[in-house]
Homo-oligomer: A and B are copies of this chain.
Amino acid sequence: MMTRYFFEDLEPGQFFELGTYTVTKAEIIEFANEFDPQPFHLDETAGKASILGGLAASGWHTASITMRLLALGFLNNSSCQGSPGVDKLVWRKPVLAGDTLAVRMEITSARLLKSRPGFGMINMALETRNQTGAVVMTYNNPAMFTLRGEAV
């Protein structure tokens, strides 16, 4: 695959619309069984009885779907070398069965790494919305990118 975005191509204020993903009831239950087996992620009745108001995706499922869209829609066309973590991840609204999620990423800062010549750190602000336009999740995500022509 051609690498389109190197560190030099990324500047604060740039943003990317990263596509959409519809999450099914079956997927919500499958993810919860494997990774987050709390009743309100596994069972419609328990979900409705909870403050989530319905069978709701694990927050980690929402984050993982967002990661999928970020990888396919941006990182896999970039020189990204991985991320040290995420900060201020907020699950703002429940994600319910049948919701269609859309992800937007905005570059908020860019700096060269003195400790690692040829690499820079880009901060990305992620925002995931549902089909009504409501924001369901936000987080900040720094990631390392190589400069153009830099071998890894």
Q: What is the interface of chain A, defined by CB distance below 8 A to chain B?
A: 31, 34-38, 40, 49-52, 58-60, 63-65, 67-68, 71-72, 75-76, 80-91, 139, 144, 152
Q: Are A71 and B152 in contact, CB atoms less than 8 angstroms apart?
A: no
A59 closest partner in B (C-beta): B83
Question: What residues of B have a CB within 8 angstroms of the CB of A50 in the complex?
Answer: 81-82, 152
Question: Are B82's CB and A64's CB within 8 A?
Answer: no
Residue of B49, B51, B67, B87 touching A60 (CB-CB under 8 A) = B67
Q: Could you tell me the distance in whole angstroms from the C-beta of A124 to the nearest C-beta in chain B? A: 14
* Neighbouring B residues of A64 by C-beta, 8 Å: 31, 34-36, 58, 60, 64
Q: A81 CA to B83 CA in the complex, in Å?
A: 30
